[in-house]
Amino acid sequence: MRVRSLTERVLLLATLWSAVALISIAVVISALYRQGAERSFNNLLHAHLFNVINAISIGADGNLSGNAELGNLRFSQPASGWYWLVEPLGSFASVRLTSTSLGVNSLTVPSVVEAPFDENYERYYEIEDYAGNRLRVVETEVVLDGENHAARFRVAGNLTDVEEDIAAFQSRLYIALAIFGLGGLLLNAFAILYGLRPLVGAKRALEKIRAGEAAGLEGDFPREIMPLVNEVNALIESNRRIVERARMQVGNLAHSLKTPIAVLLNESRALPGQKADVVRSQAEAMQAQVTSYLNRARIAAQRESVLARCELDPVAERLTRVMRKLNPGIAFDFRPEHPGLALAMEQQDLEEILGNLLENAGRYARERVLVTARPMPDEEPSADAVRRLWIEVLVEDDGPGLEPDQITEALKRGRRLDESKPGTGLGLSIVKEISSEYQGTFSLSRASQGGLQARLKLPAVTRESA
């Protein structure tokens, strides 16, 4: 899975690098310490070996004699794993000499092929003693006098002592590295969070722009972020100029078309007969089409602007208040689930679609029209996995409602299902077009009260999720 959070990404990389580095350091230091400990152990055995050689000689009776004093009490403790042993070689008839710790026991000796002598005529090998101790043995052969009487000298040490020392060192090393690693991660986390704080400030500045509280990114940002801040401010300013230019062009076009259409309508009223009705109906249709497409052009320009914003509650309350006066026999009620909802659209567009829906509901309602609004998450997140916030607006009446096939016909431009009611048949299609221009949705269905339910899904702007 891709990590989309910059903070989590940096923390993850820092953690992985620290873990790899600390593990590598632990392995290297442990290996170096083991090599040093084993080298020191071999040197100790070698020193003991020379002490034994210096302490042993051939006595007046022709036998080996002497007692090595190695200064280590473990050579006096049975089965300690620390032994020395001197055995005569060849035809030299003498009893062997051993340390007290070995007594009458013997050591298993590998063949010269398995453990050959080195250039100093010494060899090292590992064996187990009669007590099950793992031993390292250093061995050599020495001629003791001018008659070529020779003996084999061995000194053995317990490898458990070395392993325990290495294990104790590794345990302390791992604890120290773990503490160092944890402290390093905490320090890295603090440094990363502190270093990324300006991005949080930039996010809050963008939220203020979306909330309509600022016209650009404002704040004291580091010089690394200032190019981004400047580019965003330049983009906002360019966006603002585009919107103003679009508004001006829309106004100019509306002004240029207003007079010719008005002339056509006036002239059609003065003409007699059926042809006048045709000209008048076509002029009215042209006027409606021009108005519709001009609105769509204006909405398209505003949709790309981050500054398009209006509050839902005041608009809905004002429209329901007007509808109560126009329809005194019907109760119009507005119930938002959360106060302070804001839409990312122009106020006049919200008034257009909500006014059309309330007017349509007022025509067919018997006693009541209910308007509700609530925030809702995006049901289908975009490809970049950013979940947008939407507002659902429901307009329900207790009238006769529509069947599914009637709903399809009602959404077509200019279609009127009830010719006895006043209207042009453009209201619902206008609602659909405006909501789709803002990338929202509009649908009709059966209401819980039995009448018609109009559902709008419109883009929202809030201070928290802008």
Give per-residue pLDDT as tens, 264-319.
777 777 777 777 777 777 777 777 667 666 666 656 555 555 556 788 999 999 99
Report CA torsion sign: 336, 339, 345, 349: positive
User: What is the per-residue pLDDT across 102-157, written as a single tens digit (0 to 9) for each?
Assistant: 888 888 889 989 999 998 899 999 999 988 899 999 999 998 887 888 899 999 99
Report pLDDT for 299. Answer: 62
All structural domains of the chain with their residue ranges: 27-164, 226-303, 310-461
Q: pLDDT tier at 254 (50, 70, 90 boundaries)? A: low
Rounded Cα–Cα distance for residues 184 and 128 (Å): 45
> Is the pLDDT at 159 greater than 90, yes or no?
yes
Report pLDDT for 259. Answer: 72
Residue of 410, 314, 311 lying closest to 363 (CA atoms): 410
Helices (H), 271-385: 273-303, 312-326, 347-364
> Is the pLDDT at 86 greater than 50, yes or no?
yes
Rounded Cα–Cα distance for residues 186 and 15 (Å): 10
Residue with tokens 């083991």: 34
Q: Which stretch of 108-112, 283-287, 370-374, 428-432 has the lowest confidence by average pLDDT?
A: 283-287
Report domain 310-461's class.
alpha beta
The fraction of the chain above a pLDDT of 70, given in percent, is 85
Amino acid letter, 438: Y
Cα distances (angstroms) measured from residue 229 to each of 7, 202, 216, 218, 242: 20, 8, 9, 9, 20
User: What is the per-residue pLDDT across 441-455, written as a single tens digit (0 to 9) for each?
Assistant: 999 888 877 789 999
Report pLDDT for 258. Answer: 66
Q: pLDDT tier at 378 (50, 70, 90 boundaries)? A: low
Residue of 352, 340, 346, 339 lying closest to 307 (CA atoms): 346
Two tokens, residue 307: 């500054």
Task: Give one DSSP letter per residue of 128-147, joined into a string.
Answer: E-TTS-EEEEEEEEEE-STT
CA angle 405, 409, 415 (to 5 degrees): 155
**Residue 185 contacts residue 15 (beta carbons within 8 Å):** yes
Residue of 27, 25, 4, 23 lying closest to 15 (CA atoms): 23
**Residue 49 contacts residue 155 (beta carbons within 8 Å):** yes
Report pLDDT for 83. Answer: 93
Rounded Cα–Cα distance for residues 179 and 27 (Å): 17
Q: pLDDT tier at 176 (50, 70, 90 boundaries)? A: very high
Residue of 82, 120, 121 lying closest to 102 (CA atoms): 82
Provide the mean pLDDT of the chain: 82
Q: What is the pTM of this model?
A: 0.50
